[in-house]
Structure formats: C-alpha cells, structure tokens
Amino acid sequence: MAYSYKGAISFGLVYIPITLTAAVKENDIGFNMLEKESLSRIQYKKTCVDCGGKEVSAENIVKGYQYEKDKYVTFTEEEFEKLKSEKDKNITISQFVNLAEIDPVFYDKAYYVSPTAGEKAFVLLLSAMEKENKAGIAKTVLGTREALVLLRVRGGIMLANTLYFNDEVQKAPQLPQDKIGKEEFALAKTLIDNMTSVFKPEQFKDEYNERLRAAIQDKIDGKEISAPHGEQAANVVNIMDALKKSVEMTKAKSG
C-alpha cells in the first residue's frame, strides 16, 4: 500500500520516523454522468469567471482567500509549507489517556502506523501502550489543516485515527423524557440480552453493493432488474406487543 503520510512520532525526547497508510478502502461503485439520449460523457471544466469562460489548466490555479468582496490573497504550496513549524511536521504526542475515555463520535479516518527507522523505540512504545491500554493524543498538520490524532494499539498493531475537534462535533438533540414502566424495561433488557453476541465484522457484508454489481451485470446481459424478496416489517403499534413478539422471535433464534 502506498503511504498517506511520511513523518515521525515524537513524545518527550523520543523521535520515531514513521509512515501512515490508509486502514480503510472504499468499495463504492463509480458511475459516470451521461447525456440521456446519446449516452455521451458529461465533462466538468474549470473555467475563469472573469475571463470569458476560458478553461484554466491546473498549473495556473492557485488557492485564494476572500477577505473582502472580490478581493483575495493567494497562497502557493511552498507558502503553506513555510507556515509549518518542525513540530507541525511530526505527530507530537502531548498526553496519554485511557482509550475508553474517547467517544467514538470523535473518530474520523484510520491509518496503520509503520516505523521507517527506530524500530526498537517503536516496539517499546507500542508494547507499553498496549499493556497499559493507553492511547496517545497528538497534533500535526496534514496538508493545510491541523489534525488532532489518536494513536492506539489493537492486537499488536498501532493505528492512528484523526479526530474531530470538539467544536466540530454537533450538540446532541434533546431526547424525549417519557416515563418507562418496569415491565417495558424488563422486556427491552431481555430483548437486548437475546440479541447480544460477539461482534464478528466478517459476518457483515454490503448486500446492496452486491445486488448493485449483479444488476450491472444483468444490464450488460440485457436482463431486467428484479426487486429483492425479503421479510416485510411487521406493523405493531403497541410497544408492549412489539416487545413481547420480538422477545419470542429472538428467543427462538438464539435457542
């Protein structure tokens, strides 16, 4: 895998050169935009608004910040790099925390961390973090954006997760304050218990993606697309009835 980042982890006076490689790949199916009648590709050209719609090549495009209407200051990639301190170029750990303290809502992208030198220091850090179940909180600059980074260990592998900053996480909506009866609560707990099992990610597949790929092949073969056959959702209005029927159904499956 090609690396996504090349730099170093630093904590205290320890400096470990590393690379990050993406831990997740997208399985999305790409579709082209076509003109309906001719099936000709639709193109999106970069044009200059004040140049009579002239197409602009990539080498003539710069990033600009509008500080007043129609007034911009521009930046080159070299100028963005100049703004980075040596600290910004590394993943600098500022503290260690208990991994369980991090709410998953803060997680963004995940990367595998691999050393390019200082292997002994890397293994030492990884082993100590795994034994203590600690995660490192760090900051770095990726591209033109400062990133909050969580370094964690799972099964002898170090991962780096970029995190959302606190002001990027939306406030949770107000929840209803309905009173819950003892019998309702007991049935809900039983239903959860019946449906509880060990999470095995390999059991879950993108079924819609599979159907979409099959439909593409059907289209190629000149076949009609058929709707999938599945269980219809039961329309149970009363919460107690829904809970009781769900408990019976899940008890049969778990038994």
Beta strands 157-163 and 145-154, pairing class: antiparallel
Answer whether residue 201 shows pLDDT above 80: yes
Cα distances from 56 to residues 70, 77, 79, in angstroms, run 19, 18, 22
Is residue 97 very low, low, confident or very high in pLDDT (cuts 50, 70, 90)? Answer: very high
* Beta carbons of 100 and 115 less than 8 angstroms apart: no
Residue 225 CB contacts under 8 Å (≥ 6 apart), including other chains: 215, 218, 219
Domain spans in the chain, listed from the N-terminal domain onward: 5-25+82-167, 182-254
Q: Average pLDDT for residues 76-96, to the nearest whole number?
A: 82
pLDDT for 204-244, tens place per residue? 888 888 888 888 898 889 988 887 776 665 665 678 888 88
Task: Determine the Cα–Cα distance for residues 23 and 162; give it in Å rounded to an integer.
Answer: 12
Residue 226's pLDDT is: 81
* pTM of the entire predicted model: 0.75
Burial label for 125, CB within 10 Å (0-12, 13-18, 19+), is buried
E strand segments, 37-189: 63-68, 71-75, 91-98, 107-115, 134-142, 145-154, 157-163
Task: Determine the Cα–Cα distance for residues 198 and 193; give it in Å rounded to an integer.
Answer: 12
pLDDT for 172-181, tens place per residue? 888 888 888 8
pLDDT for 203-215, tens place per residue? 888 888 888 888 8
CATH 2.40.290.10 fits 5-25+82-167, yes or no: yes
Cα 79 to the center of its chain, rounded Å: 29
